[in-house]
Amino acid sequence: MVAMVIVLSGLHVWRPDGLLGDVSYDAVTLGAGVVAWRWSGRPGRRRSGGRLIAAGLVLSGVGDVCYSVIERATGAQPDISVADVFYLSSYVLIAAGILGLLGVRRDGERFDVELMLDMGSFVILSITCIAATGRVGAIFDDSSVSTLVHLVWAAYPILDAALLAVVVKAMFSRRLWTTSGLALLAGVGGWLGSDLAALWSNDDGTSVVMNLGWMLGAALMAGAVSSKPGHRSDQSARHWSRARVLMSLAPLAVPGVVEVWSSRDGNHPNSILLLVVTACLIALAFVREARLVTARHAQDLALHKRENYWRALAGNSADAVIVVDGNGMITNDAPQLVEMLGKPGAGTMGTDALELIEPLERQRIRASLDWIRTTENVVADGEFSAQLADGSIRWFGLRAVNPALGLDIGGVIINIHDITDRKRAETDLTHLAFHDALTGLANRSLFHDRVEHAVQRSARSGADVALLYVDVDGFKAVNDTYGHS
């Protein structure tokens, strides 16, 4: 396809006039549309927007063929013809296709009003700048043609302005910053460049350079929608947010552009037109910024509700959650933890986490924290004892994890819960396992355990082991009465 475009473009430059010039031109523009339509529907291509752009290229190519046939049949360039229907339709389809690639819907099916407001501002900006140069006025100054011809001629700069707005929007969007996306924008830019050159040209015809702009523009757009979308590199969100704000405010420069251009020609601008244009732009800017403020308010309200939700969950939880940074300092307030420690009302932010632990266990906990910091998303369990404000000792269990770096937590997340009752139950069960329930004396299990330890120590040290048997007078009566067990 590239070689064919190069060959046909070369032929057109060599013989721009006559049958060869028309055939080479029409072959590129219509052929680009046919190729784009055939390939854009294949798997992996830009299905929705690509098909619209391909359809626009086909209509534009059909319009070129119709224009060439009419010109050769009549021997003159027609003021308007059926070709204009195809041309004007192609602008609409290509603009709609680019919007489809950008995505005019957000959050499911909600229409992206902000995008349309931005584009509307740039349409007014472009049309006003074109009108300020006198080119639109020159179209209506020609009294030799009918009103319908005036309207058709005026539709081209208006649609150029609309397509320019779409291109500017695409340039500020990250979705088309790929190889194929940039080729698409370059192709539309070639079209617009030739259109604007034709608008400002004093000649009735078109030059070879303009024709090349339309030909190569169609070829680039066809290649873009026929290829698979490339990988889009991620950009700074802050940079693109600022660019979008700049885009929404740029139309306010229209009055100044009109004034400067009019002063350049030594003319004075129409004050009524300037007032109406300025009012329209201010209204658009007001609606745009009002929607931004409303959206920001809704986001703040949703964030506030979410904060209250999580605060309510944390406040009614029996567990405490703290975040410990690399220096061992707690970086958040944990009211549940101070309640557990018997210090209600005290703050935890900026407190050394190890100071809450008994001195004998701090070295062990410090080593565990150092190990957790070297891992990611690995949950570690542990327990420690702490002295409360009243001097009593309570036991706490913990679950610690170092989340992934992308979460911006800034430390190790530790979930703490009171396990004092469990520790007491474990102590009671251990005592019952080795002591008699009736007398509280050591039972046979503890006796065997102590003997085994004594034998092991004797094997290690070589010391002898002595076993002293003590009889208890009258114990037989007790044993027989209450049972041998």
pLDDT digits (tens, 9 = 90+) for 333-386: 777 777 777 776 677 787 787 777 777 777 888 888 888 877 777 788 888 887
The encoded tokens of residue 78 equal: 């027609």
**Higher pLDDT among residues 426 and 198, named by residue:** 426
Q: Minimal CA–CA distance to 126: which of 171, 156, 164, 173?
A: 164
What is residue 326's three-state secondary structure? coil
pLDDT of 455: 92
CB distance 358 to 346 below 8 Å? no
Rounded to the nearest integer, the mean pLDDT of the chain is 76
Max mean pLDDT range (20-24, 80-84, 110-114): 80-84
The encoded tokens of residue 405 equal: 């770096």
CB distance 24 to 246 below 8 Å? no
pTM equals 0.52
Residues in CB range of 177: below 8 A, 6 or more apart: 232, 233, 235
As a whole number of angstroms, the distance between CA 226 and CA 110 comes to 29
As a whole number of angstroms, the distance between CA 53 and CA 280 comes to 31
pLDDT of 208 higher than 80? yes
**Higher pLDDT among residues 232 and 50, named by residue:** 50
**Higher pLDDT among residues 138 and 76, named by residue:** 76
Per-residue pLDDT band at 441 (split at 50, 70, 90): confident
Q: Minimal CA–CA distance to 193: which of 202, 182, 201?
A: 201
Per-residue pLDDT band at 131 (split at 50, 70, 90): low
**Higher pLDDT among residues 277 and 151, named by residue:** 151
CB distance 160 to 217 below 8 Å? no
Q: What is the mean pLDDT of residues 31-50?
A: 74
pLDDT of 43 higher than 70? no
Residue 382 burial by Cβ neighbours in a 10 Å radius (0-12, 13-18, 19+): middle
As a whole number of angstroms, the distance between CA 117 and CA 123 comes to 10
**What does DSSP say about strands 393-401 and 412-418: parallel, antiparallel, or unpaired?**
antiparallel
User: Which amino acid, 178?
Assistant: T
Q: How far is CA 265 from CA 124, 129, 351, in A?
A: 22, 14, 72
Q: SS3 sequence, 165-200? A: HHHHHHHCCCCCCCHHHHHHHHHHHHHHHHHHHHHH
Q: What is the mean pLDDT of residues 157-171?
A: 76
Per-residue pLDDT band at 452 (split at 50, 70, 90): very high
